[in-house]
Structure 1
Amino acid sequence: MTAPAKPRKGARRAAIAVVSLIVLAVIAYLIYLNVPDHRTALLVDTSRSRVDFGAVAASVGSVARNAGERDAVSLRRFGGECGAADNTAELVGSGTGRGGEIDSAARGLSAAGRPTLQSGVLAAIDDFSGLYPFRGLKRNRIVVVTSHGTDGCAGDQRAVMKAVRERVSAAGLTLECRFVGFQVPDGQRDELRDLAGACGAPEPRFVATPQELDVVLRELVVPDLGRAEPVELPEPEPVEEHEFMVALMTGWGVKVTGAPVTCRAATGERDPERLQCRFKVAEGASVRLTAKVTGPDPNPLRGNNPEYRPTNTPYWYGCDEGPESRTCTVTMNRERLSKAKAKSGGTPSTSMAACVTTKDPAAGALAMACAALTGSR
């Protein structure tokens, strides 16, 4: 009986080569499936500023949720103490399908610290320098959303430009930078233009409203939208304003701040017109009123009683906080408006008035007048 022929070495090598090619093809295909078409890093300014950071967070979260299925998005923040390791941090690493995670992370942020713009931009560039996460096949982009045009820790802004320019050059990346200035002060816009130029980026997009921010971020992050046409926002519905009055019933000199007009009365003032302050509050709006008592003591007992101590801390009636409150917030809400009655002779209803007084014994009658005027008793 003839023994079976052993496979020749050449045939075995050919078989191994075929298997290796198949394995390599499978690996290449799996890598291809994980390489995004577009990769975008969202770099968000979380430093302390006068802007509504909640609007920024909402826009960032929304645009991340709308990214394409094969588009990778990441989230990094900057803002904090100068030189601190955590003045910039990547919150969500680059990957597809992470819109919900980025949305949650963005809405959980709060504004604090200085604008560490240089640290944020340099770290965002470094995020693209490794082999993994994979870069995008079609586009790699950093989108900086900032409310500042300067770095709060660098005295020489030219040094910031130089550091950014060198980092981009050293990284050797085909990397786009785009800058969005949300309510950036006019005096800082030129610096932000210079920083964009150091990154090789076009002119920053300056926006003033959350609606404009939504439009620009969608254009820069969501692919194939092209440059957005100017958006015609609907004219806002006119908001009705309602007259409100603050009565100054302290007996002392008093100044009230927070109102859109000046509210002030001198010690011992008797003119009724000078003891009231009238202004308008838009429906749905709030004002926070603060009173400061000043001037000479109106209490006649002061000179006859060496143990006398004035009780001149201001307190309020007719405010959201309730009667005898130390603070006063006035919100023109439905509850207050529903309680308002028709005006008679120019006198507002009790729900449309607040009154500031003190607990000084000499002002007892004034405190009673406050309570009656605001309907608190």
Structure 2
Amino acid sequence: MRLRTLAMLGCIATPLSSPALAVTVSRHVFGTMPDAQPVEALTMTSASGMSATVLTLGASVQSVIVPDARGRKADVVLGYADLKGYLDKPSYFGSTVGRVANRIARGRFTLDGKAYQVPVNDGPNSLHGGTKGFDKVVWEVVSVSSGPVAKVVLRYVSPDGDQGYPGTLTTTATYSLNEKGDLSVDYRATTDKPTVVNLSNHTYWNLAGEGSARGALGELLTIPAEEYSPTDATAIPTGEFRKVAGTVFDFRKPAAINDRVRDASDVQIRYGRGYDHNWVVSRKAAAAPRVMARVEDPVSGRVMEVLSEQPGIQFYSGNFLDGTITGKSGHIYREGDAIVLEPQMFPDTPNHPAFGSVRLDPGQAYTNHITFRFSAGAKAR
């Protein structure tokens, strides 16, 4: 199976560098919340020239600087240069999203026979945990360490009843960076009573560079999935597992996103104003992380592979970036200026038993191990 997956994803590019010196971590105050709580920025920097900055607000990725095939560095994620932007118009830039990532239909679900209502904040549905999800709270810094693999461990304790969800949920997000070009976030959560949880990371990626005039839609995308989840007009899955073969959702072989993203012949594209769907990489979680998506910028040569053990990956093509946001480099963010790839359980799983379960009980641990693996090919010009 592994050989087949690698064949679908094409040749593996050369790592950014071989293991060498330690990855260092620095930290500073990024800004202050309205309640005077400080928000920190923690930057992991490797000897290879790659760095990643994480904010304690939302356990969010604020910057990832990656060299291209010629060694030229660029920040490849969207975001703001100061805290004000994240507070005024957050848009989930780089955020950890939860308790339940993605959508819950009408904000309703049932657990052990009891009905729960969580905030509706996306048309008629609940999105990414509600009006004050994990992206809008300040996480505690548990530990910071430099070394061959640098680590930043953040924690947030969500109280029982937070946003309508049952149980006190204790969540850690462990960000790490190594010299091979792997940026990882490992999510872990425990609860004191039965609840539901589905965490993911909502970083907006543009391998051409944040603010690039080329945008992200010329990048080549591969998703090794035979099926995807069609939705209704409000982005809630219908429950069907639909084959990607013969559709604009077939990314089993590398394809430029902009070749299909505006194909109005498919009602699913019209519903989402582009792609905003779940790809079914498998029907259940894997024992270990595997490649769920691969993105290549044919101009810079930058390559990113996304690995996780989760069964689904939400691909969003930046359809609602409408030119009203000015990013950290002073450029206006427009439709298609970045893409989002979120490994997770399927959307609205609490209301679709056939999708599996996002239930978490006391004594259990929820995990989602996500790695963004960067390398550089030979196509830069």
TM score, norm. by length of structure 2: 0.19
Q: Which has the higher strand share?
A: 2
Q: Which has the higher helix share?
A: 1
TM score, norm. by length of structure 1: 0.19
Q: Say which one has the larger Rg.
A: 1
Which structure is richer in relative contact order (CA contacts within 8 A, separation 6 or more)?
2
